[in-house]
Chains A and B, each alone.
Chain A
Amino acid sequence: MAQMKIAKVITRSVLSRPATRLYPFEKRPFFRNTRGSVSIEIDKCIFCGICQKKCPTAAITVVKASKDWQINRLRCIACNACVEACPKKCLAMENAYSPAVVKKGADDAFHQGDKSKAEATQA
Chain B
Amino acid sequence: MATRTIIPFGPQHPVLPEPIHLDLVLEDERVVEAIPSIGFIHRGLEKLVEKKDFLEMTYVAERICGICSFIHGQAYSQAIEGMMKIDVPERALYLRTIWGEMSRIHSHLLWLGLFADGFGFESLFMHSWRVREKLLDIIEETTGGRVIFGTAKIGGVRRDMDTFALNRIQGELKTIEKQCREITDVFKKDGSVQRRTKGVGNLSNKDAIALGAVGPTVRGSGVAIDMRKLGYAAYAKINWEPVVETGCDCYARCMVRCRELYQSFDMIYQAIAKIPEGPVDVKVTGNPSSEYFARVEQPRGEVIYYVKGNGSKNLERFRVRTPTFANIPPLVKMLGGCELADVPVIVLTIDPCISCTER
- Asked if B123 and A31 make an inter-chain contact with CB atoms under 8 angstroms apart, the answer reads no
Asked whether any CB of chain B lies closer than 8 Å to the CB of A10, the reply is yes
Asked whether any CB of chain B lies closer than 8 Å to the CB of A123, the reply is no
Chain A residues within 8 Å of B28, by CB: none
- Closest residue on chain A to residue B57 by CB atoms: A56
Contact digits for A36-80, partner B, Cβ 8 Å, 1 yes 0 no: 000000000000000000001000000000000000000001111
Asked whether any CB of chain A lies closer than 8 Å to the CB of B241, the reply is no
Asked whether any CB of chain B lies closer than 8 Å to the CB of A88, the reply is no
A5 vs B190: C-alpha distance when bound (angstroms): 6
Asked whether any CB of chain B lies closer than 8 Å to the CB of A33, the reply is yes
- Asked if A78 and B145 make an inter-chain contact with CB atoms under 8 angstroms apart, the answer reads yes
- Asked if B141 and A31 make an inter-chain contact with CB atoms under 8 angstroms apart, the answer reads yes
- Asked if B186 and A6 make an inter-chain contact with CB atoms under 8 angstroms apart, the answer reads yes
Chain B residues within 8 Å of A6, by CB: 123-124, 127, 186, 190
- Asked if B143 and A79 make an inter-chain contact with CB atoms under 8 angstroms apart, the answer reads no
- Asked if B191 and A3 make an inter-chain contact with CB atoms under 8 angstroms apart, the answer reads yes
A79 vs B148: C-alpha distance when bound (angstroms): 9
- Asked if A31 and B59 make an inter-chain contact with CB atoms under 8 angstroms apart, the answer reads no
Can you pick out 27 interface pairs between chain A and chain B where the beta carbons lie within 8 Å of each other?
A2-B189, A2-B190, A2-B194, A3-B192, A4-B190, A5-B185, A5-B186, A5-B190, A6-B127, A6-B190, A8-B182, A9-B183, A9-B186, A19-B133, A32-B141, A33-B143, A34-B145, A35-B144, A56-B59, A78-B144, A78-B145, A79-B150, A80-B144, A80-B150, A81-B59, A84-B158, A93-B144
Instruction: List the count of A-B residue pairs having beta carbons below 8 Å apart.
Output: 58
User: Smallest distance from the beta carbon of B120 to chain A beta carbons, Å?
Assistant: 13
Asked whether any CB of chain A lies closer than 8 Å to the CB of B107, the reply is no
Asked whether any CB of chain A lies closer than 8 Å to the CB of B130, the reply is yes
Main secondary structure of the interface of B (DSSP, over half): helix
- Closest residue on chain B to residue A28 by CB atoms: B137
- Asked if A31 and B56 make an inter-chain contact with CB atoms under 8 angstroms apart, the answer reads no
- Asked if A10 and B123 make an inter-chain contact with CB atoms under 8 angstroms apart, the answer reads yes
Asked whether any CB of chain A lies closer than 8 Å to the CB of B140, the reply is yes
Asked whether any CB of chain B lies closer than 8 Å to the CB of A13, the reply is yes
Chain B residues within 8 Å of A31, by CB: 137, 140-141
- Asked if A33 and B182 make an inter-chain contact with CB atoms under 8 angstroms apart, the answer reads no
- Asked if A77 and B182 make an inter-chain contact with CB atoms under 8 angstroms apart, the answer reads no
Chain B residues within 8 Å of A2, by CB: 189-191, 194
User: Smallest distance from the beta carbon of A22 to chain B beta carbons, Å?
Assistant: 16
B window 183-235: CB within 8 A of A: 183, 185-186, 189-192, 194
- Asked if A79 and B127 make an inter-chain contact with CB atoms under 8 angstroms apart, the answer reads no
Contact digits for B280-323, partner A, Cβ 8 Å, 1 yes 0 no: 00000000000000000000000000000000000000000000
